[in-house]
Amino acid sequence: MRAIRALSAAAAGAAIALTVAACTGSTTTIIEKTGAGGAGQSAGSSASPAAKPSPAGPVVTITPGNGAGRANPSAGITVTAAGGTLKNVAVSTTGNPVAGTYSAGHASWHSTWALNVSQSYTVTATAVSNGAGTSAGVTTTKTSTFRTLTPGTTFYTEIFEGYRQSYGVGMPIILTFSAPVQNKAAVERSIELQTSKPVIGAWYWDGNQTLDFRPRDYWPAHTVVSFTGHFDGVEAAPGVYGYHTLTQTFDIGDSVIAVASTTTHKTQVYLNGHLKYDWNISSGKPGDATPDGSYLTIEKENPVRMIGPGYNLLVPWSVRFTFSGDYYHDAYWSVGEQGFENVSHGCVNLAPANAETYYKLAVPGDPVTIRGSPRSGEWDNGWTEWFLSWPQYLKGSATGEAVVANASGSEFVNPSALPPDTAKSPLQTSAPENAIA
């Protein structure tokens, strides 16, 4: 039961304090300041007792403050409770829903992602005091209504992966930004991944406008990957803000891994961890050697027109793995040399039936490793993320941290806290510095 005790009518012009007494003896006090001090008593009347000061409640601070008209969206929302514990923080907006986390002990709260640009927000926060005696259980509620700035310059982001498309176990997530990014760590931290199977990986900047995510080891086969880039409100460079949230979902298919030796003139193709095919090949002849390295299939076409010194022909069952034009393909004209001699202009020549079989298995992102060549692979001649060892790849992140993802989401972690890597090449990961001939 609760009882309300009102002050005497003679003090009606003074500040009004409503004190609520609980059965347990603790008190909750709501302080409302309605004006300055009251009138004196009429002649002959007895003076009313002096009002006791109300117990102090926690001091709640909301940033951005009430009435702000050009709040920085990249800073998000911060709520603190001095002398108290936050019990509830609610954010109302017509923009993207705002999630946030409390600090240990609920002394503060901060939004998880940047706020939308050009958007209005109302934040209502309630805290209860940590005091003893009459100050115990005092609550304070505060509200802030504000609007974020409208940027003069914006950027947008594109993702290579297509919706519900299937990719190989080596496929990086490839992001392209419309403007150079200076605040690289902020952009990395605005990205959330969900993976149906646990994955450890990292982000890597290839210049200022391309950002890739690569797992530490190859993706587990048949993983579903969901990507959310909370770029709306992120300040990528001074005065340059994102204005959209980018989402995508794609699949990792079967593990299809090809390993070719330029010295044994053989290629092995592994399907989901098991040797499936062992074929004769002919790789690049002296002067046109197929470059060493762990590549990824990029695209395939049947046929592809290939033009070079002394030839111009349509080549069936062609699967590309470098931008400069190296393929696994049907070479019906070199079947007699396959398994014995290197005679191609840099491609991996296969017998027609074998080329067709590989073509039908391949999707973008399947690992292709070339070994034994006198020629080194060239960075960025294809998707060459797997040229790098894991420590080298980590150096490309602005945060210097790894990303641990699962079905619940992702978080950044110190690489030293990761479990040991037990993956073996070539079926689970690439060999370190594999592009060096």
Catalytic positions, written as ranges: 329, 347
Phi, psi of 34 (to 5 degrees): -115, -5
| Cα 85 to Cα 104: distance, rounded to the nearest angstrom | 10
Cβ-contact 409, 298 below 8 angstroms? no
Other CB atoms within 10 A of residue 269 CB: 22
| Cα 249 to Cα 192: distance, rounded to the nearest angstrom | 12
| Cα 354 to Cα 329: distance, rounded to the nearest angstrom | 9
Other CB atoms within 10 A of residue 327 CB: 28
Say which residues have a Cβ less than 8 Å from residue 238's Cβ, sequence separation at least 6.
Answer: 182
Edge-to-edge strand list for the sheet holding 224-229? 166-167, 246-252, 224-229, 191-195
> What is the enclosing helix (H) or strand (E) of 394?
helix 390-394
Cβ-contact 355, 269 below 8 angstroms? no
Instruction: Reduce the DSSP state of residue 6 to 3 states and report it.
Output: coil
Edge-to-edge strand list for the sheet holding 108-111? 59-63, 78-82, 108-111, 100-102
Cβ-contact 386, 426 below 8 angstroms? no
